Structure 1
């Protein structure tokens, strides 16, 4: 059971660590509800994914 939680935790950590501005990060943000974005995420999205 401990191994399961360790694997899940590591998976979530790796998924959450996409580099801001990368193609994967822009895709993740596109799929995320706009109402859930932080001000910093919106700024970074505009800076890296639109322009």
Structure 2
């Protein structure tokens, strides 16, 4: 693998500090609702560019 540039972002997802759903008893819908996804709000707190 090679490249000429890279970007790395660190961020905060509101509600992301809450514990994840209990995968042993939660329904699929409850699990999806309790985890971050591509459509989750994301606040960049640090970025690196190479």
Query: Structure 1 or 2: larger strand share?
Result: 2
Query: Structure 1 or 2: larger helix share?
Result: 1
Q: What TM-score, normalized by structure 1, do the two folds share?
A: 0.24
Structure having greater relative contact order (Cα 8 Å, sep ≥ 6)? 2
Q: What TM-score, normalized by structure 2, do the two folds share?
A: 0.24
